Amino acid sequence: MNWKALYKRFFIWRKRHVSDRVMLLVLSVVVGLCSGLAAVVLKTLVHVTNRWLLQFNIPTFVGGNLLILIYPAIGILLTILFVRYIVKGDIGHGLPSVLFSLSRQNGVLPARNMYTSMVASTLTVAFGGSVGLEAPIASTGSAIGSNIGRFFRMSAHDVKMLLGCGAAGAIAGIFKAPIAGVLFVIEVFMFDMTATAILPLMLSAVTASTVAYFLMGNDLQFAFTVVGSTGLSQIPYYIVLGVFCALVSLYFLRVTDAVEGWFAKRRQSYRAGIGIVALGVMIFLFPPLFGEGYGFLTEMLRGSNVMLFENSLFLPWREKSWLVIVYLLLLILMKAVATATTIGCGGVGGTFGPSLIIGGLAGYFFCSLSNQLGLEPQSTANFALVGMAAVMTGVMHAPFMAIFLIAEITGGYALMVPLLVASSVTYLCVSPFEKHSIYARKLAERGDLLTHDKDTSAWQLMDMRKLIETNFVIVREGDTLRDLVEAIKFSRRNVFPVLTDDDKFLGVIHLDDVRQIMFRPDLYDTTPVVDLMYNLSEGDIVRTSDKPEEIVKKFKVGNRYNLIVVDDEGYYQGFLSRANTFSAYRRFVSELSEE
């Protein structure tokens, strides 16, 4: 069978009989099915492997389990070998690479991304790496959507849409939370909440959730019963919890940055060796850091701290309330370090799950401390769940996704008011210090981030290099008026850049400034061009490294029609025209608005 001919016939038939809109909706269901299956497979593999590994126990003379000192090293080494010898290249940087694809590559992701993050994160997390599966599975779902869209020759806009559908389906599938999946794409991927976008995203998320329910049953991630109702007297507690979670969020962001940055400066063999040892020791001392950590968090929500101290050297602390509170604080501090160490030394995973775990620990710690101090008694389970949403809000800048995720994975909306209060306070406290999510801030620094602000996005994402005009006739430093007159004969522009012999920029000559002497042959050989140059200021020159916003500011402030472009070493590149730049901006905004 000639597959190419069959594919071509199908494509022709589809174009004639199925509209692009209908095809997008059909493919969103297909993407949801595939991403949901991927989420189930990944979650099941890691869960089964975790349980199998933890059934073995080799106690040390000081207590604890020697094997959890070794398991993470095995997982990290297997991950490094997989990336180096099977993938033979970088598997990408998770969700930041997806965001970069949306802003700069029309949603195109390599086909291998449909499995590389899944396999690598399975190896890392199943053997105890202290990271989450959510970002890898969202990256996988995004790659599935992108490649399905390109296989069916969808437009660039629809490929981006299907990429978002894949991410929504992946998050919905792994948590059985379709609304959270949709809001994840809207808030983290910066999709606009329009009817055109919502329907495909929702179809994909609902399909993936249905697959997850069908294959994994109706159990919720954190099934629990809300203790009591939320009264006005409790609101101040949730406000203070929001402030505390903001501090925890900033700590998490700063620590992951610092630790990953430290590892990035070291050779791979060195950072792998140091990281494996450090991670093993941390997990040996604090077993709840092993893997994702949802198991012990679920038990905590049910009122038990057995798993919190299981195989731990700190088991004698379990019956002493103040020591339990200290242990919780240590876990909050160490979880951020363990997560960054896992990623920095070569493991593959995300910060989505760890932010949930740290949030749960923060809420539980805050409530336990409040109760221990003799204040109005509160439910530790309620505060732990609200803390999860608040820290996710601070880390990911996605308050609605965090709120509805907690509501969906607990099976109810009884905590909606506390969730709204704490998440809002956390967001307001974190925003002045971190303007972007953990996934987007480095892209924003480079000007590669697509945001909901179309005006800002247009200036950030426009490639100014493509607008540089080079059809100006140049003159050299040693030339005279005769050479300039000769250049004028062949030029259609009224500006002439003056360069050195090695192409460094010196200045410009305006035709209007030489009209009076250009018809005086007696001055041709005695007037050097450098004497005719226009006096330039820094506002007349831009560099190729300048951000688009800075270039636009120079156009507006100086009311200039042309700006000279040089590189960072002063070599001439060309001119930017005010008219062309703003015309390109209008086209770019129009394209973004259509999407």
- Window from 152-161, 267-276, 455-464 with minimum mean pLDDT: 455-464
Angle 155-156-161 from CA coordinates, rounded to 5°: 95
Rounded Cα–Cα distance for residues 392 and 355 (Å)? 6
Has residue 206 got a pLDDT over 80?
yes
More confident residue, 268 or 387: 387
Q: Can you give the pLDDT at residue 369?
A: 93
How many CB atoms sit inside 10 A of residue 459's CB? 21
How many CB atoms sit inside 10 A of residue 230's CB? 19
State the first-to-last Cα distance of the chain, in angstroms, to the nearest integer.
Answer: 38
φ, ψ at 462 (rounded to 5°): -65, 135
Q: Can you give the pLDDT at residue 421?
A: 94
More confident residue, 172 or 441: 172
Band (pLDDT 50/70/90 cuts) for residue 74 is very high
Q: Can you give the pLDDT at residue 544?
A: 80
- The average pLDDT across 423-437 equals 91
More confident residue, 151 or 463: 151
- Window from 344-353, 452-461, 502-511 with minimum mean pLDDT: 452-461
Nearest in space to 137 (alpha carbons), one of 154, 158, 119: 119
Band (pLDDT 50/70/90 cuts) for residue 92 is low
Has residue 201 got a pLDDT over 70?
yes
Rounded Cα–Cα distance for residues 485 and 531 (Å)? 15
Has residue 394 got a pLDDT over 80?
yes
Beta-bridge mates of residue 571: 504
67: left (phi over 0), alpha (psi -120 to 50) or beta: alpha
Rounded Cα–Cα distance for residues 380 and 362 (Å)? 10
% the chain with pLDDT above 90:
33
Residue range(s) of every CATH 3.10.580.10 domain in the chain: 458-594
% the chain with pLDDT above 70:
90
Distance between alpha carbon 10 and the CA centroid of its chain, in Å?
36
Nearest in space to 510 (alpha carbons), one of 476, 533, 529: 533
Q: Can you give the pLDDT at residue 1?
A: 57
Most confident of 4-18, 243-257, 493-507: 243-257
Nearest in space to 128 (alpha carbons), one of 174, 75, 78, 52: 75
Q: 4: Cβ–Cβ under 8 A, 6 or more apart, which residues?
A: none
Pairing of strands 572-577, 562-566: antiparallel
- The average pLDDT across 19-41 equals 92
Has residue 298 got a pLDDT over 80?
yes
Q: What is the DSSP letter of 266?
A: S
More confident residue, 446 or 312: 312
Alpha helix positions (H), 55-133:
67-81, 95-104, 116-126
Question: pLDDT, tens digit, for every residue of 490-531?
Answer: 888 888 889 988 888 888 888 888 888 888 888 888 888 888
Rounded Cα–Cα distance for residues 236 and 441 (Å)? 31
Question: pLDDT, tens digit, for every residue of 103-141?
Answer: 777 788 888 889 888 899 999 999 989 998 888 999 999
Q: Can you give the pLDDT at residue 590?
A: 64
Most confident of 223-227, 475-479, 490-494, 537-541: 475-479
- The average pLDDT across 405-429 equals 88
The mean of the pLDDT values for the chain is 85
Look up the CATH architecture of domain 458-594.
Roll (3.10)
Nearest in space to 151 (alpha carbons), one of 11, 267, 344: 11
Nearest in space to 24 (alpha carbons), one of 163, 188, 179: 163
- The average pLDDT across 318-328 equals 88
Residue range(s) of every CATH 1.10.3080.10 domain in the chain: 14-216, 232-444
One of 3.50.50.60, 3.30.365.10, 3.40.50.720, 1.10.3080.10 is the CATH number of 232-444, namely: 1.10.3080.10
Q: Can you give the pLDDT at residue 124?
A: 92
How many CB atoms sit inside 10 A of residue 393's CB? 32
Tokens 């010196």 sit at which residue? 506
Q: Can you give the pLDDT at residue 447?
A: 61
> What's the predicted TM-score (pTM) here?
0.80
φ, ψ at 582 (rounded to 5°): -75, -25
- The average pLDDT across 288-315 equals 82
Q: DSSP string of 7-56? A: HHHHHHHHHHHS-HHHHHHHHHHHHHHHHHHHHHHHHHHHHHHHHHHHT-
Look up the CATH architecture of domain 14-216.
Orthogonal Bundle (1.10)
Q: Can you give the pLDDT at residue 488?
A: 87
Tokens 């033979």 sit at which residue? 88
What angle, rounded to 10 degrees, do the helices at 235-264 and 268-285 form?
150
More confident residue, 535 or 341: 341
Most confident of 276-285, 368-377, 561-570: 276-285
Pairing of strands 541-543, 562-566: parallel
Has residue 591 got a pLDDT over 70?
no
Rounded Cα–Cα distance for residues 90 and 195 (Å)? 36
Contact call for residues 202 and 28 (beta carbons, < 8 A) = no
Q: Can you give the pLDDT at residue 197?
A: 78
Has residue 12 got a pLDDT over 70?
yes
Tokens 């710690």 sit at which residue? 365
